[in-house]
């Protein structure tokens, strides 16, 4: 179970870091639309991977004594959702 928690946290942090880098690059190169397609592909891949990790964490909550660590990892994965919406809103307003 510890491996699932560590993997899920790593996936969440990497998704955040890559998404933030793509977001910052798009803001910096606001006149160019070359990063739009890689960004969309990244979003689709990140949603699939993060959803898989989230489902694994939720299934792990069913009968596990280490619920605190599982809930923390679940919260970290879920934190990416409002951040992604914020980035999307800012990009729409700046384009």
The model's confidence at residue 41, banded by pLDDT at 50, 70 and 90, is very high
Q: Is the pLDDT of residue 64 over 90?
A: no
Q: What is the pLDDT of residue 2?
A: 84
Report the helix count and the strand count for the chain, using DSSP H and E: 3, 0
CB within 8 Å of 59: residues ≥ 6 apart: none
Q: What is the pLDDT of residue 33?
A: 84
Q: What angle, 0 to 180 degrees and rounded to 10, lies between the N-to-C axes of helices 36-60 and 2-28?
A: 160
Cα–Cα distance, 91 to 22 (Å, whole number): 11
């Amino acid at each position: 179970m510890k491996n699932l928690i560590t993997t899920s946290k790593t996936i969440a942090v990497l998704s955040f870091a890559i998404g933030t880098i793509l977001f910052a690059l798009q803001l910096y190169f606001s006149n160019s639309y070359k990063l739009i397609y890689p960004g969309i592909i990244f979003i689709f891949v990140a949603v699939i991977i993060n959803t898989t990790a989230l489902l694994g964490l939720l299934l792990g909550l069913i009968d596990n004594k280490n619920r605190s660590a599982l809930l923390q990892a679940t919260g970290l994965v879920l934190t990416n959702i409002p951040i992604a919406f914020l980035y999307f809103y800012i990009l729409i307003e700046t384009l």
